[in-house]
Amino acid sequence: MRSGKKSTLLMMTVLTLASFIVQAQTEKEFYTTATGKYASGQLEEAVEYYTKAIEVKKSYTYAFYGRGLTYMSLGEYAKASTDFDKVAELSPRFINVYYSKGRSKLSLGDYKGAIVDFKNAIMSNEMNSYAYVGIGNSLAALGAYEKALDQVNRSIEIYEGDAHAFIVRGLIYDAMEDYDAALADYNKAIQMDPKDVRAYAQRAVTKIKMKNLEAANFDFNKALDLNPNYAPIYINRAISKKWVKNYKGAIADYTKAINLEPKNALVYNERGLAKAATKAYTEAVEDYSKAIELNPTFQAAYKNRAWSFCALQSYEASVADYNQAIQLDRNDMRAYFYRGKTKLAQKDYQGAIKDMTKVIRLDAAHSAAYYTRALAKAKDGALNDAIVDYDKAIELNATFRDAIRARAAAKFDLYDFKGAIQDYNRLIKQEPGDAAAYYNRGVSKSKAGNTKAACVDFSKANDMGYAPAINALNEFCEG
């Protein structure tokens, strides 16, 4: 009996070992097949086999990394980012993953997150020129152009043979409106690689801005000849059309790009912006929603959708989206500012005051925040407090006409007619054709008891075609 038990145990052990060997072979086999599929451009099949390898071995770092790269090629950047995060969790010393993480976040519009990852890539290898380009690209997207230039210049110092670095630097120069420098960099990239589709497409955008339409069309056509199925060509042509306010044409090109890259959240967001520019806010919301569906952490899409919701007077939905944007970035000053403006429209005056106070803490020189907080205080009945904020807004921006006009109205409501007249004087000095200022100055003079001077102002406003002035003339100045 014991002998039989030993035999049974031995067989079970052998079977277990055999099964482990088969399993180990299978995961490698799946991985090998997946890499072959990826290399031959069969991307969907590559994902399938990488996934099978991962199902067999849950900690298969290389399979996660390979699948992440494949998702990147498919334009599924959120899924790619998730896979790269898993690689970093399993193998923190896997050097290449930090650069790949940065690329995926850059493609998702998470520019601050991308910078962190690119910096980690540089910490692993300070000669990683591509990571410097990635940081430059991210900084440029955040509007920090000078810092972006420093990073790309560093990249070119390390490796002058990277045509992509010259394209990115060209993009930065273009954003800085140094179009000649941008063209020089695009020309350099094309000289290095005459088949670089993106270089032609970007050069075309700059030529549009230089009003050289014929040359721009040549570049777009050249790019399309090289690769008619390359989505960035249509994206760039859409950008060019937006530049000349051809929003309908831009939407058509973004649609072509989406047909080629249906899972690219950034393109949906851009098409949404073009639709919003035509005041097609409901359609814009649909595009922003798709972008968010594809990338639930796409902060810019939440802010853009919030703006369109506000334009549709869907204030509750707008505030909810700004809340989400702020949750993703607690120091996003613009999100606080526009949430405050939405709350003002919603008649949540205390909420608006709170948001504008946050903006002012982040930027003490934000004149529009002082002005908006003043409007909320005035609506809430705190006129004296409102005037303090109007004063600050005007101190920061001496030609802030809306603030001067609103302060005049607040002073009028407080029976400070002399102060109101002084503000209307200031408006008229800045803009002698301001009929409303003449009319309101006339009303203030009338309240102050100077009817004769008031009638002069009413007459002036009436001459300018300001309709309410005729009633004032009839009431106060007859005969």
- pLDDT band per the 50, 70, 90 thresholds, residue 25: low
Which helix (DSSP H) or strand (DSSP E) does residue 339 occupy? helix 333-345
**Res 478: pLDDT:** 73
Q: For the chain, give the number of residues.
A: 479
Burial per residue of 356-380, b for 16 or more beta-carbon CB atoms within 10 angstroms, e otherwise = bebbbeeeeebbbbbbbbbbbbbee
Task: Identify the CA nearest to 34 among candidates 72, 65, 10, 7.
Answer: 65
For the CA atoms of 149, 151, 156, 159, the dihedral, rounded to the nearest 10 degrees, stands at: -170
Q: How confident is the model at residue 12 (pLDDT cuts 50, 70, 90)?
A: very low
pLDDT for 14 beyond 60 = no
What pLDDT is attached to residue 11? Answer: 43
CA distances 410 to 3, 327, 457, Å, are: 102, 35, 20
The CA distance from 110 to 250, in Å, is 24
pLDDT in tens, 99-120: 999 999 999 889 999 999 999 9
The residue among 83 and 3 whose pLDDT is bigger is 83
Which runs of consecutive H residues, i.e. helices, occur in 40-144?
A: 43-56, 61-74, 77-90, 96-108, 111-124, 129-141
The whole-model pTM stands at 0.79
> DSSP label at 448?
T
Is the predicted pLDDT of residue 94 greater than 50, yes or no?
A: yes
Average pLDDT over residues 18-44: 79
Q: Given a cut of 70, is residue 136 above it in pLDDT?
A: yes
Is the pLDDT assigned to residue 221 strictly greater than 90? yes
Q: How would residue 21 be classed by pLDDT, with cut points 50, 70 and 90? A: very low
Which helix (H) or strand (E) segment holds residue 390: the answer is helix 383-396
On the 0-12 / 13-18 / 19+ scale of CB atoms within 10 A, 474 is exposed
The pLDDT tens digits of the residues spanning 281-335 come to 999 999 999 999 999 999 999 999 999 999 999 999 999 999 999 999 999 999 9
What are 198-213's pLDDT values in tens digits? 999 999 999 999 999 8
Residue 386 predicted with pLDDT over 90: yes
| CA gap 22, 280 in Å, rounded | 58
pLDDT band at 5 (very low <50, low <70, confident <90, very high): very low
In this structure, what DSSP letter does residue 312 have?
Answer: T
Owner of token pair 């919003």: 276
419-470 tens-digit pLDDT: 999 999 999 999 999 999 999 999 999 999 999 999 999 999 999 999 999 9
Cβ neighbours around 10 below 10 Å, total: 10
Query: Once rounded to an integer, what is the mean pLDDT over residues 342-371?
Result: 98
Best-predicted range by mean pLDDT (27-41, 229-243, 345-359): 345-359
Per-residue confidence band for 9, with pLDDT thresholds at 50, 70 and 90: very low
